[in-house]
Amino acid sequence: MKTIKEVRAALVASALVLIGLTRHGWAQTVGSGAPSSTSPSGGAQTIALVGSAIVLLVVLWALVKMLDLKRRREGEAVIVQSQVSDAVLRDPSLFSLPITPTARVPLWTGTPVIVEVAGCVPSEDLREAALRVIEREAAHLRNDVQIESRIEVVPTMMRRSA
């Protein structure tokens, strides 16, 4: 995946190339100063060239903005995931259990953060305790968090000693 700096460098390089092409095209159409009957579409070519350069710049600008938004939203997901994971590890009844939260933040703002929790616990009580801890921590971070539980109850699971 390209970084924001690489995309910006490509944007600047593309803009410079398009400016050079536009100046070259403009020099061919304006040229001698006398009206030429052999090339009546010279002005249309220049307009098309300038228009395509503007469209390309707008598309590249939108791409840079989307990449920046994606990077910021991924950063938000990392924060939510780490805080929820830390909350599970701080709880003495849960720290030795294989419970893994994974946060996803959709690209568009206004959509809820999704925290998928996977793992195994030996009892239904521990499963509910884990979900309470996760929901409480998520509610402290954001008000728009959805918890998707993939925690399985495996009664034969042996707990590791601390």
Reading the chain (162 residues) residue by residue, the pLDDT tens digits are 556 677 677 767 776 776 776 666 555 555 555 555 555 567 888 888 888 889 988 999 999 999 998 898 888 889 989 999 999 999 898 888 889 999 988 887 778 889 999 998 998 999 999 999 999 998 888 888 889 989 888 888 765 544
Q: What is the pLDDT of residue 134?
A: 92
Phi then psi dihedrals of residue 30, to 5 deg? -80, -45
33: left (phi over 0), alpha (psi -120 to 50) or beta: left
Q: Which residue has the tokens 């006398």?
A: 34
* pLDDT score, position 33: 54
Q: Whole-model pTM?
A: 0.63
CA-to-CA dists, residue 44 to 67, 102, 115, 144, 157, angstroms? 34, 55, 55, 52, 76
Q: What pLDDT, on a 0 to 100 scale, did the predictor assign at position 28?
A: 58
What integer pLDDT is reported at residue 161 of this predicted model?
Answer: 46
pLDDT the model gives residue 83: 92
- Cα–Cα distance, 23 to 50 (Å, whole number): 10
For position 132, what pLDDT does the model report? 92
How much is the pLDDT for 131? 92
